[in-house]
Structure 1
Amino acid sequence: MNFIKIYTIVIIALTFLNCSKSASKDDVSEVQEEKKIVSNSDLMSISQKQYENEALSMTSLVAHSFGTKINATGVIDVPPNGRAVISAQIGGYVKNSPLLIGDQVKKGQLLLTVENIEFLELQQQYLEAKEQLTFLKSDYERQKELFDEKITSEKSFLKAESDYRMTLAIYKGLRKKLELLQIDPMQVESGILTSVSKIFAPISGDVTAINITTGSFVSSSDQIMEIVNTEHLHLELKIFEKDVLNIKIGQTVLFNLPESGTKQYKGSVHLIGKSIGDDRTVMVHAHIDEPHDEGFIPGMFVQASILTNEVTGMGISDKAIIEDNGLTYLMLMKSGENDTYLFEKIQVETGELSGDIILIKNHKDLDPKGKYLLGGAYLLAD
């Protein structure tokens, strides 16, 4: 009886041990499935699950500009006609100013109104000059007829002509002042007078500064607000005197905003300064190729490189390059079947680095339409 019990315990123990080994093998299998699989030194594979977990991606060869770099610093700016400072033609009290910094305005849009009793006096003078002009014109024409008929003296004719032309000049000057104040002379002539002058936007753009509040007094020399049109942003760069002879119009400019990451933008040299500043630098004006939805703001600091001796070559993201024993490689995707990606390790010869694109000198030996592993190449290093 005791023998049977012992035999039964042994059987149960062996069964439990076998189950444990089986489970252990399954666990190892799952772990190995998560790891990369290397079939030989040139062909390597990775599971689709690991590809997704590591957020890997593919990239291809691209045509890119390479050349000797001349470093420069500068700012994003707008041309002079893209910036407008708003002032009042005649001082007054701000009656209404509905705008805030950052608001977009269109050319001709009402910006604010200014009130001043002097506007009424100006309109009164205009009406007086107009009435006097009517009389003097009639007298001048009558004196001219009399002078032509030898009835009146030349002195009387010249006096009438002088009075008429002097009043005409005053009338035209007052009319022009009213137009500058955006007061319609025709309404004034019909008896509609106003103490308010309207100020309209001279250009379209964004309001970048407001220096007044409702009720404050502004003079003609005060800067009420500023409007900047960002449709024609450009770069104003500084280069050292020793580099100026290597700069040519049309050369590629690569730049980035140090405060907003490492993304590079592209432009081209448009104008080269003809004078040297006190700090022995020369200004270079460059156009920006990128669309204006990048959030560029005038005044942003930029770091730039101007490419000289420029050539176009085939390159690829430097994140696709892996190094092994002093040699450089790309991982070419051969197939993607049965939830497994198969890669071939291709040796390449690299050259200059332009931004995040590195030159591939032996690109003719590669498949131009091939897909190469981008990032995560360290997973396939073993």
Structure 2
Amino acid sequence: MKNLYILIFSLVLIACGNSEKNIETVEEIQTGSNEIDITKEQFKGEKMAFGSLTEQEFNETVKTNGMIDVPPHNKSSVTSFFGGYITKTPLLVGDKVVKGQLLVTLENTEYVEIQQNYLEVAEQLNYLKSEFTRQKTLFDENITSEKNFLKAESTYKSNLAHYNGLRKKLEMMHINPISVEQGHISSTINIYAPIEGHVTKVNVSNGTYVSPADIIMEIVDTDHIHLELSIFEKDILKIKKDQDILFTIPEASNKTFVAEVHLVGTTIDEKSRRVKVHGHIDNTQTNFIVGMFVEAEILVKSRKSSALPKEAIINLENEFYVLVLKNETETEFHLEKVKIEKGNETEAFVEILNIDALNDKQILTKGTYMLLNEGGGGHDH
């Protein structure tokens, strides 16, 4: 039992010793000591590793924002040329429609009046045409006066213009004039889809009265969606056609999507001092929705530069350091703390600007986090 107490006491002393060494290592890094020793056993146990400067690609980007949109010809606001009451609305927001599909049906007594007027004018036209033909023949044979001929001609042509105008109205109402001439008169007209796409807005319900100025619904063709970005005046000369765009939709996804610059605007908005940039999107990436807000980076320049993994960088009160191998013994690595100047960053690497201090050096690239936060047995040199 006595030997057991001695063993436990010894283990406690060893544990306390290691803990003190851990604290010392952290304090060395944090309090300004430039040299740190790490045992090779600790180096292996913490899976540390040395590395050196490598060439990495860094992109210069222009950050911007905008939205997902479609070209004007891929968006249609559905209206009616003639006012009326809605009697049929079979579609809901999100429904897919094809060009020419029935959207809504309108009813109004005015439609009946237009068709009646057309029938009356059509009947008069037949009589006036024959009268005009008769007067022309008589005039050519010097049987009737020029006055009678001109009067018949004027009346016929005036009626013909009225007839053609009413016929055009019927066509705009999607009513077949031939059917009207056969006596088929309808109090309703149909509105059809002008483009293929999805219904994005429905502003009416059964019984609603719509005037020619009212938008009944909106259809958007999402086959040609694009990015509509706004670029500050100071950055616009950097933007060129075919440059890559990386963008995210912060409200909907953490994923990064890809597009490319297709058109660069040629005018600056006087209020915002921004220029519009149109970007093409690969639609296979996801189901984008028109109106989504996006944050984007346009890659304007790419270059290679010396860099280190982010894990190698130690941040002490907003000053940045790396640990460089100074020399080693059979049991220890002697490291030196070297201040660095950071440049651009990627997800994995940091550009190093003062490379002269690190060229041909072995740099601790793995395990600095463990060393800084947990220690591992290092001690003063």
Pick which of 278-287 and 114-123 moved more. Answer: 278-287
Instruction: Give runs of aligned pairs for residues 186-265 of structure 1, distance below 5 A.
Output: 186-265=178-257
Provide the residue aligned with 1:8 in structure 2.
Answer: none
Deviations 1:12-50 (A, max 9, x none): xxxxxxxxxxxxxxxxxxxxxxxxx9798669xxxxxxx
Residue 171 (structure 2) aligned to one of 171, 176, 179: 179
Q: CA RMSD in A?
A: 3.4
2:139 matches 1:143: no
Equivalent residues of 2:236, 2:275 under 8 A apart: no
Whether the 8 Å CA contact 2:228–2:279 is kept in 1: the answer is no
Superimposed CA distance per residue, residues 109-165 of structure 1 (whole angstroms, 9 cap, x where no aligned partner):
000100011111110001111111111111111112222222222222111111111
The amino acid of 1:323's aligned partner reads A
Q: Is the 8 A contact 2:231 2:277 kept in 1?
A: no
Shift in CA distance, 357/124, structure 1 to aligned 2, threshold 3 Å: farther
What do the CA deviations read for 1:341-382 (whole angstroms, capped 9, x no partner)?
Answer: xxxxxxxxx99656x576999xxxxxxxxxxxxxxxx99x99
After TM superposition, give the deviation of residue 288 of structure 1 in Å: 3.0
Which residue pairs with 2:268 in the alignment?
276
| Contact 1:71-1:306 at 8 Å conserved across structures | yes
Give 5+ residue unaligned stretches, structure 1. 1-36, 44-63, 329-349, 362-377
Shift of 1:229: 1.0
1:152 corresponds to: 144
SS at match of 1:140: helix
Which residue among 101, 118, 123 is the counterpart of 1:126?
A: 118
Query: Would the aligned equivalents of 1:75 and 1:236 in 2 still touch at CA under 8 Å?
Result: yes
Instruction: Give the aligned partner of residue 32 of structure 2.
Output: none
What is the letter of the counterpart of residue 114 of structure 1? L
Q: Specify the alignment match of 1:266 in structure 2.
A: 258
Percent identity between the two aligned chains: 44
Q: Residue 296 of structure 2 aligns with which residue?
A: 304
Q: Is the 8 A contact 1:239 1:283 kept in 2?
A: yes
Q: Where do 1:310-329 residues align within 5 Å?
A: 310=302, 322-323=311-312
After superposition, where does 1:342-361 map in structure 2 within 5 Å? 353=345, 356=347
Shift of 1:302: 0.8
8 Å contact from structure 1 (residues 91, 218) kept in 2: yes
| Alignment-derived partner of residue 81 in structure 1 | 73
Is the contact between residue 238 and residue 281 of structure 1 (CA under 8 Å) also seen in structure 2? Answer: no
Q: Cα distance 1:257–1:357, how it changes in 2: closer, same or farther (>3 A)?
A: farther
Q: Which runs of 5+ in 2 are unaligned?
A: 1-43, 51-55, 315-320, 324-341, 353-368, 377-381
Q: Secondary structure at the match of 1:141?
A: helix
The match for 2:26 is none
- CA spacing shift, 1:124–1:209, aligned 2, 3 Å: same
| SS of aligned partner of 1:139 | helix
TM-score (norm 1): 0.66
Residues in 2 aligned to 1:209 and 1:41: alpha-carbon distance in whole angstroms: 59
Identify if the C-alpha distance between structure 1 residues 41 and 258 changes in structure 2 by more than 3 Å, giving closer, same or farther. closer
Counterparts of 1:195 and 1:323, CA distance in 2 = 80
Secondary structure in 2 matching 1:151 = coil
AA partner of residue 218 (structure 1): V
Alpha carbons of 1:267 and 1:246: their partners in 2 closer, same or farther (altered >3 Å)? same
Give the residue type in structure 2 aligned to 1:307: L
CA contact (8 A) 1:205 1:230 kept: yes
